[in-house]
């Protein structure tokens, strides 16, 4: 029970309490042994925290003071028990429970590859300078990146994010800042871009290579990037270059597509956690439908290459999926999934994804260009898609435990 809540469980601020800290080599029976020792003095437990790092344990117990006159005996009994276990003990007298956590709670996830002491110091200093207090630190993963989560209070999420995101880019770490609370556990729909996000390729380039027009397609892409063409114009211009290509190329392209490392782990884990997962692409349904079937996705939408008499016509049919279209589809998928937009997560790398990233509850720029990175809520700049799980608070241990469970 947190101390700022007023309830009959609250420990009065002036109630004498003892903080008992045990430190030493971790082995079975330490926790049972300590509380067994304390039980002889009929104290109540106010709080317990235990951390084990590389085989060394820190166990902290906050307990009520024993009846008058027994504190000295409790101290000597705990110390001799600790000595018999080759542990160090420290007992500090004080009043009440832990200091209540400040208002404004956020979770700051830091991903490093590696995570340097310098980056950790800078992130922690920035949190302090922004007025935040680090209440807890917890390792989420050591593979494929080192990921740690800081629980911070005392500062609103938005200014904390602004303060940290600028710092992160300079330090070569990825930092995600989300508001703490139950809604984080309620995120239930993840929508991903495909080209250079779910897969390592740009599908139009794979088709262009078969059509022998890779250079021309690259020219149009460059022109679109310079802002001379909008997405829809560049889509039509590039697809037109594929006119006459045999439809059998579709199968070849499907086989050439390379999933981003961690993509399968991400999707498998999200599905196990009960998430719905979808993709939206400015590429083509001929590829995204296949990915949907192979990966067990709930939603997939893209542009469709028109095929007549076994040949690509150089046109697309149906609804155009562009920048606005991707955001529209995120909303549609959310409505179909019955998930409020605030509880959605969108992942993408391109300018095309920005509306979708901003519309989602959490927008993740994945190895994105600077313009996208700066505009998104958070950025991941390591080439492993499963690191997104850590931003959602899922630990590597949970991912692996679920995998083992499935194999059994
Ligand atoms: Mg992309």
Report in angstroms the alpha-carbon separations of 287 from 64, 226, 254, 258, 385.
64, 27, 6, 12, 19
The stretch 226-235 carries a mean pLDDT of 86
Ligand 1 geometric centre to CA of 322 (Å): 11
The stretch 320-344 carries a mean pLDDT of 95
Is the model's pLDDT at 3 over the cut of 60?
no
Pairing type for strands 189-193 and 344-348 reads parallel
Measure the CA–CA gap between 168 and 382, rounded to whole angstroms.
13
Ligand 1 geometric centre to CA of 194 (Å): 6
Detail the DSSP E strand segments found in 161-298. Answer: 174-179, 189-193, 276-284
Window from 220-224, 283-287, 322-326, 387-391 with minimum mean pLDDT: 220-224
Ligand 1 geometric centre to CA of 29 (Å): 52
Specify the DSSP element, H or E, that contains 323: helix 323-337
Is the model's pLDDT at 4 over the cut of 60?
no
Window from 251-255, 285-289, 333-337, 341-345 with minimum mean pLDDT: 341-345
pLDDT band at 215 (very low <50, low <70, confident <90, very high): very high
CATH 3.40.50.1000 matches 189-212+240-401 = yes
| Predicted local distance difference test score (pLDDT) of residue 187 | 67
Q: Which CATH number fits domain 105-180: 3.30.70.20, 3.40.50.150, 3.30.70.260, 3.40.50.10490?
A: 3.30.70.260
What is the rounded average pLDDT for all residues in the chain? 91
Window from 217-231, 268-282, 326-340, 394-408 with minimum mean pLDDT: 394-408
| Predicted local distance difference test score (pLDDT) of residue 9 | 59
393: alpha, beta or left? (left if phi > 0; alpha if psi -120 to 50): left
Q: Provide, rounded to the nearest whole percent, the portion of the chain with pLDDT above 70.
A: 96
Greater pLDDT, 121 or 223: 121
pLDDT band at 143 (very low <50, low <70, confident <90, very high): confident
Is the model's pLDDT at 172 over the cut of 60?
yes
Q: Which residues are catalytic?
A: 193, 195
Q: pTM of the entire structure?
A: 0.84
| Predicted local distance difference test score (pLDDT) of residue 5 | 44
The stretch 109-122 carries a mean pLDDT of 93
Angle at 344 between CA 111 and CA 113, to 5 degrees: 10
Is the model's pLDDT at 101 over the cut of 90?
no
| Predicted local distance difference test score (pLDDT) of residue 183 | 65
Cα-atom radius of gyration of the chain, to the nearest Å?
Answer: 27
| Cα-to-chain-centroid distance, residue 406 | 23
Domain limits, CATH 3.40.50.1000, in the chain: 189-212+240-401
Ligand 1 geometric centre to CA of 126 (Å): 32
The stretch 285-298 carries a mean pLDDT of 97
58 forms beta bridges with 23, 51
Q: Which CATH class is domain 16-95?
A: alpha beta
Ligand 1 geometric centre to CA of 193 (Å): 6
Is the model's pLDDT at 133 over the cut of 70?
yes
134 burial type by CB count under 10 A (0-12 exposed, 13-18 middle, 19+ buried): middle
380: alpha, beta or left? (left if phi > 0; alpha if psi -120 to 50): beta
pLDDT band at 407 (very low <50, low <70, confident <90, very high): low
In terms of Cα–Cα distance, which of 341, 354, 344 is closest to 276? 344
Measure the CA–CA gap between 372 and 368, rounded to whole angstroms.
6
Ligand 1 geometric centre to CA of 234 (Å): 15
Domain limits, CATH 3.30.70.260, in the chain: 16-95, 105-180
The stretch 135-147 carries a mean pLDDT of 92
The stretch 202-216 carries a mean pLDDT of 95
| In the block, residue with structure tokens 């950790």 | 120
């Amino acid at each position: 029970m947190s101390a700022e809540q007023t309830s009959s469980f609250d420990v009065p601020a002036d109630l004498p309490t003892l903080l008992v800290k045990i430190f030493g080599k971790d082995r079975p029976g330490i926790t049972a042994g300590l509380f067994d020792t304390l039980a002889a003095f009929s104290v109540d437990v106010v709080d317990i925290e235990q951390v084990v790092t590389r085989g060394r344990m820190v166990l902290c117990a906050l307990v009520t003071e024993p009846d008058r006159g027994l504190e000295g005996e409790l101290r000597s009994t705990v110390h001799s028990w600790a000595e018999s276990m080759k542990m160090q003990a420290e007992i500090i007298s004080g009043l009440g429970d832990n200091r209540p956590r400040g208002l404004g709670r956020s979770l700051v996830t830091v991903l490093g590859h590696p995570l340097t002491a310098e980056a950790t110091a800078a992130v922690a200093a920035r949190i302090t300078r922004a007025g935040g207090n680090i209440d807890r630190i917890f390792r989420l993963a050591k593979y494929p990146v080192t990921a740690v989560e800081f629980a911070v209070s005392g500062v609103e999420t938005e200014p904390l994010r602004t303060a940290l995101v600028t710092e992160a880019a300079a330090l070569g770490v990825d930092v995600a800042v989300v508001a703490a609370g139950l809604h984080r556990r309620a995120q239930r729909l993840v929508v991903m871009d495909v080209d250079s996000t779910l897969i390592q390729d740009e599908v139009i380039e794979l088709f262009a290579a078969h059509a022998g027009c890779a250079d021309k397609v690259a020219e149009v892409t460059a022109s679109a990037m310079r802002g001379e063409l909008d997405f829809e114009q560049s889509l039509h211009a590039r697809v037109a270059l594929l006119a006459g290509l045999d439809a059998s190329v579709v199968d070849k392209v499907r086989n050439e597509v390379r999933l981003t490392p961690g993509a399968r782990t991400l999707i498998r884990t999200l599905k196990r956690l009960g998430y719905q997962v979808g993709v939206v692409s400015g590429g083509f349904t001929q590829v995204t439908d296949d990915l949907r079937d192979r990966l067990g996705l709930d939603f997939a939408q893209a542009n469709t290459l028109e095929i007549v008499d076994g040949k690509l016509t150089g046109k697309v049919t149906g609804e155009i999926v562009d920048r606005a279209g991707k955001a529209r589809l995120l909303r549609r998928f959310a409505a179909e999934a019955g998930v409020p937009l605030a509880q959605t997560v969108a992942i993408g790398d391109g300018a095309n994804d920005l509306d979708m990233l901003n519309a989602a509850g959490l927008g993740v720029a994945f190895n994105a260009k600077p313009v996208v990175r700066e505009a998104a809520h958070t950025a991941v700049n390591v080439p492993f898609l499963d690191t997104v799980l850590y931003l959602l608070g899922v630990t590597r241990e949970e991912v692996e435990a679920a995998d083992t469970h499935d194999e059994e």
